[in-house]
Structure 1
Amino acid sequence: MSLFKNHFILTLLFWLGSFYIPVYAASPEQNHTVLIGGDYNYPPYEFLDDKGQPTGYNVELTLAIAEVMGMTVEFRFSDWAGVRKALQNGQLDALQGMVNSPERRQAFDFSPPHAIVHQSIFARRGEPRATSLEQLRNKEVVVQKNGIMHDYLLQNDVGAKLITVETHADALRQLAAGKHDYALVANLPGLYLGQELGLSNIVPVGKPFQAQQYGYAVLKGNDALLAQFSEGLAILINTGRQQQIYNKWLGPLQEQGLPWKQYGKTAAILSALLLLILGGTVIWNRMLRRQVDKRTAELHIQQQQLIQADKMTSLGILVSGVAHEINNPTGLLLLNLPIIREAWQDCEDILEQRYEQQGDFLLGGLAYSQMRDEIPALLTDMNDGAHRIKRIVNDLKDFSRQESDDFSEPFDLNDVVATAVRLAENSINSSTDHFSVSYSSSLPSVDGNAQRIEQVIINLILNACQALNDRNSAIKVRTFRQAESQQICLQIVDEGCGIEARNLTRLLDPFFTTRREQGGTGLGLSVSSGIVQAHGGQLKFESEEKRGTTVTLTLPVSGENL
C-alpha cells in the first residue's frame, strides 16, 4: 500500500505541474511597488511594534517572498475593516493574511495557505463555559468587525447578539472589563494579547475549533500578482525558510503552557526561599530540629529523583520507535495536504471531461475510474495520520513534564486510563494481538494529580507487556467502582509468565527487579506505590507462575462525590 501511495503522489505532482505552468504567463510591471495591507493589531501574525513599524510572522514572510521573487513591497497597516475595504476599492494590491472562505472567494483570489488559523471562545474566569457556537444563543458576543467569525455568524445565524470592535485587543479588553458574555477571536492572537495586556481574568473555554486556511488575498482576476506570491511561498516552503519563520513567531506561543503554570513556578521559588529562612531560624534555635528537617529534605529530594527517573525510563521505552524531529515534517504534511486536496478537486473537472470524451485511462498506473474514488480517501487517511502523529507527540510532551507535589484537582479515571493506553500503544501493539479495555460508565471523580496516576498506569501496562511470552497472550484492562468501600478501581490482568511466590512480597522494594539484565532499574513499582499511597490508595498483586498476574489499583472517591 505504501508503494502505491508513493507512486500516486509522484504522479499527482506531475499532473499538478502540467496544469499549473500557464498561471505564470503574466507578471506585474517591472519596478512596480506592491502595496501590502495588514491589520495593525493582530499579533503574532501582523502588528505595529513600539516604534510603529510593521512586524510579525506575515511581515517577515512577505519580505522573504519579495526577496526571492525580486519584488518591491510597501506595507499599509490599519484596522481590519479598513484594509479589507481598501483592497476591494483597489487602493491596495494584496492582503498578506486573510482566511479563505467560499463567500470571500466570490470577491478575492487566494494563494495556498501559509498557516492554519483556529478560533476560540474566550470568557471571564468563573463564568459559564461555552464550548460550541450553538451555546452562544441569546448571549452578547464581541467579534472583530468584518473578521471571519463576524462573516460566519452573519451567514449562519446562531442567535447571538453581536458587538463589533476594530481589533482582537478591543474585544478582550471589553470582556475583561466585565462587558458582554464572550469574545470570539482567533486562538493564537487571543492568547498572545491576553498575556501581553495582563488580562488574567479571561481564559479560552473549550478546545480551538474552525481550522481555517490563512494566506495571501488579491482582488479576483489579479492572477499575475497571486502567482508571484504563490511561487515565492512554494520556494520558501521547499527550502525550509517558511518553517523557520513560522517557528520563530508561532512555535513558542503554541508550545507554551497556560499562564497559571508560570505563576506556580514563581510561587514555588518564593516558597523555597521562605522555607530556607524558616529553616535557618529553626537551625539556630534547635539543633535537634535541624537534623530532622535536614533528613526530611533529603528524603524528599530522593523521592523526586526516583519519580523523575522512573518517568524518564518509561518515556524512553515509549519513544524508542519514534523518529527524531517529527514535528517539522508533520507540520509540512498538515500544511500541504489541504493544498493537494484542493489541487485534486481543481483537476477533477478536466479529468472527468477526458473520461467522458475518451473513455477510461491510466492515472498513476491504475484506471482513472478507480482512482477518482481512491484519491479522496487516500488524502483523508494521510491527513488523519498526520493529526494522529501530532497528538501522540503532544501527549508525550505532557507526560514528560514534571508537576508539583501539591497539585490536586478532581479527575476522571477513565480519561486518564485512555490517555495512558494511547501513550503505551506502541509497546502494546508490539507485544500482543489481544488487548482490551473496559470502561465503567458514570465513574465518580478522584482527587489528586492526574499526571502522576497516568504515570503509574503506564508503568503497570508496560510491565504487563514485558511479562507476555508471545503475541497470543492477552492483556485486559477494566475500571469499576466498589460501592461498599467508596473506592474506584483499575484492574490490569495479563496472561504472562507470572511472579514467583517468594518474590511477591518484594515487588514494592526499591531497586528489586528480575529484569536487571534487560535494563530494569527496580524503581517502577516502588515509585508507583508511593504515588498511589500519596493519593490515599493501594496497589495489590495476585499472581500464579506461568499463568499470569492481576494488578488492582484502588483510589478513594473524590470528597465532592461522597
Structure 2
Amino acid sequence: MNAQVERRSFTVIDGNESSEREMRRYNALLEETVRQRTLELEQTNARLTESLRQLQATQAQLLFADRLATIGQLAAGLGHEINNPLAFIIGNLDYVQQQLVRTAGTSTPEEHQELLEALADARDGAERVRLIVRDLKVLSHPNDMERGPVDIVATLRGAVKVAAHELRDRARLVETLDAVAPVNGHTARLCQVFLNLLINAAHAISPGRAEQNEIRLSVRMCDAHRVVVEVSDTGCGIPPEHLDRIFNPFFTTKPVGVGTGLGLSVCHGIVTALGGELSVESEQGRGSTFRVHLPVYEADEPRARAEPSRAA
C-alpha cells in the first residue's frame, strides 16, 4: 500500500517537472519569437522612415523644379522688367556725367536741379531692379522645410511684381489688400502658389484686350483663425466637366509645350500641407475665382525652424 502511494507521488512530481520544463521551453520559444518579431518591426520601421525621408526629399525637389520652371516661363518678361529701369539708370547717369563735365562746377541753379532730378530717377530705377531681384531670390529659395509667420500682403506684392509683364497685356490688375494677421507658412512656397494662380488667370484671357478685362487680387480675414486670398479673372472660365480634375497632376487644357499640368496640383499640395484649403468657382465664358484659405500663425505652435518673411 505504501509502495503504491510512493509510486503515485513520484509520478505526480515527474509530471510537474515535465510540465515546468515544457512551460520553460515554451516561454523561451515565445521570447525568441517576440525578439525576432521586434527586430523585424524595427527593421521595417527603419525602411519606412528612410522611404518617407526620400519621398519628402523628392516632393521638395518637385516643388522647387516647378517653381524654377515658372521662373523660366517668365524669363523673357522678367528680362524686360529689369532692362527698362536699367536703361534709364544708365541714360540718367550718362546725362549727369556729361553735364558735370560741361559745367565743370559752374552750373546754374536750374542745371543743378536737373542733375538732382536725373540722379533721383536713376535711384528709383535701381530700386525697381533691387526689388525684382529680391523677389526672384525669395521665389528661388530652395529650403522648403522652414515654416513660420509670413506677411501675406508682402508675399502677394512680390508675386505681382514677378508676374507683372505677363499680366500687363491681358488685363487690368485690381488689388484689395487689407491688413491681415501673419499666416503660418513658407514665403517662397506661398509666393509660388500666388504666382501660379496669377499666371493662370492671365492665360485665361487673350492678349491685347487689357482694357476690357481685369484680374482681381484680394486678401482679408475670413475669421479669427483664417486668412483668405482670392484671385479672380474675367477670362474664358473652366468647363464644368473639368472642374473636378483641375487639381489632378498633369491635367491641363493648355496646348502641348505650353504647360505641364503640374501648376495647380502643386499649388493644392502646398496649401493643404500648410493646413489650408484651395478651391475654385468658375463659369465658362465669364471667368474663374480661386480661393486660398490659410491658418493664422500662432506664436506657440511648434515648427522646425522659424522663418522671417522675406517678401516685398
The Cα shift of 1:348 comes to 8.2
* SS of equivalent to 2:249: coil
Contact 1:308 1:402 in 2 (8 A): yes
Contact 2:189 2:270 in 1 (8 A): yes
CA 373–289 in structure 1, closer or farther in 2 if over 3 Å, else same: closer
1:389 aligns with 2:129: yes
The Cα shift of 1:393 comes to 2.1
The Cα shift of 1:317 comes to 2.2
CA 352–340 in structure 1, closer or farther in 2 if over 3 Å, else same: closer
* CA deviation profile, 1:188-222 (whole Å, cap 9, x unmatched): xxxxxxxxxxxxxxxxxxxxxxxxxxxxxxxxxxx
Unpaired runs of at least 5, structure 2? 1-37, 302-312
Contact 1:410 1:445 in 2 (8 A): yes
Letter in 1 for 2:278: L
The Cα shift of 1:385 comes to 1.5
* CA deviation profile, 1:450-487 (whole Å, cap 9, x unmatched): 2211111111111111111232211010111122x621
1:316 aligns with 2:94: no
Bigger Cα displacement from structure 2, 503-512 vs 341-350: 341-350
1:451 aligns with 2:191: no
Q: What's the C-alpha RMSD, in Å, of the aligned pairs?
A: 3.6
The Cα shift of 1:522 comes to 0.9
- The 5-angstrom pairing of residues 314-463 of structure 1 reads 314-323=70-79, 337=93, 340=96, 344=100, 347=103, 350=106, 352=108, 376-405=116-145, 407-432=146-171, 434-441=172-179, 443-463=180-200
* SS of equivalent to 2:294: strand
Normalising to structure 1: TM-score of the pair?
0.41
Aligned mates of 2:290, 2:101 — CA distance in 1 = 53
**Residue among 518, 522, 540 paired with 2:279:** 540
1:551 aligns with 2:290: yes
Aligned mates of 1:350, 1:557 — CA distance in 2 = 60
- The 5-angstrom pairing of residues 477-556 of structure 1 reads 477-483=217-223, 486-556=225-295
Letter in 1 for 2:266: V
Letter in 2 for 1:435: L
Letter in 2 for 1:391: L
Contact 1:444 1:561 in 2 (8 A): no
Aligned mates of 1:391, 1:351 — CA distance in 2 = 34
Contact 1:439 1:480 in 2 (8 A): yes
Contact 1:445 1:561 in 2 (8 A): no
The Cα shift of 1:337 comes to 2.8
CA 481–322 in structure 1, closer or farther in 2 if over 3 Å, else same: closer
CA 344–497 in structure 1, closer or farther in 2 if over 3 Å, else same: same
CA 544–339 in structure 1, closer or farther in 2 if over 3 Å, else same: closer
Aligned mates of 1:283, 1:394 — CA distance in 2 = 51
- The 5-angstrom pairing of residues 225-236 of structure 1 reads none
* CA deviation profile, 1:283-313 (whole Å, cap 9, x unmatched): 9764543553354244323312320121011
Contact 1:283 1:289 in 2 (8 A): no
- The 5-angstrom pairing of residues 210-249 of structure 1 reads none
Contact 1:341 1:376 in 2 (8 A): no
The Cα shift of 1:410 comes to 1.2
Normalising to structure 2: TM-score of the pair?
0.71
Query: Which has the higher Rg, Structure 1 or Structure 2?
Result: 2
**Residue among 458, 467, 490 paired with 2:204:** 467
2:306 corresponds to: none
The Cα shift of 1:314 comes to 1.0
Contact 2:77 2:165 in 1 (8 A): yes
* CA deviation profile, 1:111-159 (whole Å, cap 9, x unmatched): xxxxxxxxxxxxxxxxxxxxxxxxxxxxxxxxxxxxxxxxxxxxxxxxx
* SS of equivalent to 2:169: helix
The Cα shift of 1:392 comes to 1.1
Q: Percent identity?
A: 31
Contact 2:96 2:115 in 1 (8 A): no
Contact 2:60 2:144 in 1 (8 A): no
Unpaired runs of at least 5, structure 1? 1-281, 354-368
Contact 1:341 1:379 in 2 (8 A): no
Aligned mates of 1:536, 1:349 — CA distance in 2 = 63
2:12 corresponds to: none
- The 5-angstrom pairing of residues 166-181 of structure 1 reads none
Aligned mates of 1:381, 1:418 — CA distance in 2 = 22
1:289 corresponds to: 45
* SS of equivalent to 1:315: helix
Aligned mates of 1:349, 1:453 — CA distance in 2 = 52
1:216 corresponds to: none
CA 352–308 in structure 1, closer or farther in 2 if over 3 Å, else same: closer
Q: Report how many aligned residue pairs link the two structures.
A: 259
Letter in 2 for 1:468: I
Letter in 2 for 1:301: A
* SS of equivalent to 2:55: helix
The Cα shift of 1:546 comes to 0.9
Letter in 2 for 1:385: G
CA 509–429 in structure 1, closer or farther in 2 if over 3 Å, else same: same
Aligned mates of 1:284, 1:561 — CA distance in 2 = 38
The Cα shift of 1:352 comes to 4.3
* SS of equivalent to 2:193: helix
Letter in 1 for 2:122: M
